[in-house]
Structure 1
Amino acid sequence: MESPSASPHRGRIPWQGLLLADIQIINDSKPIEGKELVLTCEPDIPGVTYLWYKDDQELQEIPDRLQLSSNNRILTLLNVTREDTGIYECEIRNSTTVIFRNSHTLDVFYGPDTPTISPSEENYCSGTNLTLFCEADSNPPAEYSWIINGQNEVPSQELHIPSMSTSDSGSYTCQVRNSITDLSNIAVKNITVHGAVIQVSSTTVREKDSLVLTCLTAQPGLSIQWIFNSQSLQLTDRMSLSTDNSTLTIDPVMMEDEGEYQCEVFYLNCSSKSDSVSITVKALESEDTHLLPGAIAGIVIGAFVALVLLCILAYFLYCSKTRRSRPV
């Protein structure tokens, strides 16, 4: 009975044998890019013609790339590339008839290529979410992992860090590996997280004294604004800002200046707020009306001594008066 695969092929006469040709890979080696691969067409029959096809195109020798043995039975790919992936057919024929024919799908293993990390943006503001995606061309698909600042390996193709802070700045390395080719590759992205912090000598200040708040940033922004109790700070005649708005001076401080202060720095693509700093203002009256414990103790001791002296004086006066009133 004729095999279903014996249909006409590129105008050739259908084969009429009882066996199929067999394509074998020498030493059962894996088709890995960059290595040599040898295919043989079996069986070995004297006096016949062997032909090779790839994706329906007949193969011819290519120097330094493709070699055929003297009788064409052995096909050697000297330097396998991923473009060699495809359907290979081995055909055995006599002068007029196709005797055997069979096909083999060659899947070339390659990579991983140098990975790419997206998005390309490298500057972020604190409080924003970071999502990095790594991709590398590889067959089979690569295994992915992330290394952050040289440590904390995370096995994932996608890396997500919510609500970043300035401590999240650093190098983000995507590492890819192909378990078949036993090759690996990396890509590195340097991330800078912009943030702000308020510097102040003391969070407690006396009324009538001066207060200086400084907004510090790792990278200079386009502009800076100050926030007081969650509202944009309204400057008074007691307040002044430096040329770049980074330093706020209040002189003299009043009770209404007590509250929460923040600075917000604006960059090209985002803005970043500092953590709030709570300023406490001590009223002058509180220092005048409240005595220190040492002062209170001094007053008590002084009153006791005065009382003792008064008692002694009264005793002597009494004794003196008693002596005068006695008859001589």
Structure 2
Amino acid sequence: MESPSEPQHRAVSPWRGLLLTASILSCWIQPTSAQISVVSNPLYGEVNRNVTLDIQDYSGRAVSYTWFRKTITDPNEIAVYTVENREQDPGDIWKKVFPNGSLLIPDLTLSDSDDYIVVIVNSKCSIVAQGHLAVYERTSKPNLTANRTNIIENGTLAFTCVTEQAGMDILWFFDEKPLILNEKMKLSVNNQILTILSVKREDARFYQCEIRNPISSSRSDLIPLTVNCE
């Protein structure tokens, strides 16, 4: 997230882009023994928290670090850090580059999810490293609904796991244990709706759904199901 006072565009010399491209190309013909990459710390970003993008497996001395989002183009440049001067350009943005080249991104939003690229310039050439940042929000309790909770045997029943949070995995539980699907049960494409055909007495008890992403999970309240004989 950028500071509200941060300028939307800044002048970049066309020669800078040409020199950067030339130095990258010169390094491609000198492959390094280790695969340098960008890794996020923590592994997944969380909305409203900070994340640091670290450069992994680079031990050389750098002249500068230039960070980009998505592609190595001037409009997508985030910041340049010059090691000798310990200066960042621009210096008035919320994102900060540390002396070791790591990039701090504070106050994350879901829109910060993207590919991030760093160009490391040393005394010999430039090295490009890339990684992906995935940002998630904490799950909130889903709402489990049913078209009926008291049903005659052999009827059809549908449970719906309701959540306004996108991109969640949905799991189902029967008597607080993972639900094992049988031939009478089917799930919708996104697992949001559980349908039970020809309900039997052994299907009675408690149902529950859970939403989950890589950083958290939340379960609904239990819904009791009563099955009556015909």
TM-score, normalised via structure 1 length: 0.39
Hey, what's the Cα distance between the residues in 1 that align with 2:221 and 2:148?
Answer: 11
Does the 8 Å contact 2:142/2:218 carry over to 1? yes
Q: CA deviation at 1:82?
A: 4.0
The DSSP-based 3-state class of the residue aligned with 1:174 is strand
Shift of the 189–40 alpha-carbon distance from structure 1 to 2, 3 Å rule, reads closer
Q: Which residue pairs with 1:230 in the alignment?
A: none
Say yes or no: does 1:31 pair with 2:31. Answer: no
Indicate the RMSD between aligned Cα atoms, in angstroms. 4.7
SS in 1 for 2:111: helix
Superposition deviation, residue 128 in structure 1:
2.7
- Greater helix fraction, Structure 1 or Structure 2: 1
Q: CA deviation digits over 1:25-49, x for unaligned, max 9?
A: 37x7422425543223445535x23
Equivalenced residue count is: 176
Structure 2: tracts of 5 or more residues without a match: 1-16, 80-91, 182-190
Structure 1 residues 33-182: aligned runs within 5 Å: 33-34=46-47, 36-41=50-55, 42-46=58-62, 48-56=63-71, 57-60=76-79, 62-63=93-94, 66-69=95-98, 73-93=101-121, 99-108=126-135, 112=139, 114-115=141-142, 117=144, 121-122=147-148, 126=152, 128-134=155-161, 142=169, 144-147=171-174, 154-155=179-180, 157=191, 159-164=194-199, 172-178=207-213, 180-181=214-215
Q: Deviations over 1:211-269 (max 9, x none)?
A: xxxxxxxxxxxxxxxxxxxxxxxxxxxxxxxxxxxxxxxxxxxxxxxxxxxxxxxxxxx
Using the alignment, how far apart are the partners of 2:78 and 2:141 within structure 1? 32
Deviation at 1:174, TM superposition (A): 1.0
Give 1:53 shift.
0.7
What's the TM-score once normalised by structure 2's chain length?
0.51
Verify: 1:22 aligned to 2:41, yes or no.
Answer: no
**For residues 169 and 143 of structure 1, do their structure 2 counterparts lie closer, same or farther at Cα, with a shift above 3 Å needed?**
closer
Structure index of larger Rg: 1
Q: Given the superposition, is the C-alpha separation of residues 81 and 122 from structure 1 closer, same or farther in structure 2, using an over 3 Å criterion?
A: farther
Distance 1:30 1:155, change over 3 A: farther
Native 8 Å contact 1:114 1:186 kept in 2: yes
After superposition, the Cα gap between the structure-2 partners of 1:167 and 1:74, relative to the gap in structure 1 and judged at 3 Å, is closer
Write out per-residue CA displacement over residues 79-99 of structure 1, whole angstroms, 9 at most, x where no aligned residue: 5554332211111348xx972
Q: Is the 8 A contact 2:52 2:103 kept in 1?
A: yes
Deviation for aligned residue 1:123: 7.2
Q: Partner amino acid for 1:13?
A: T
Identity %: 16
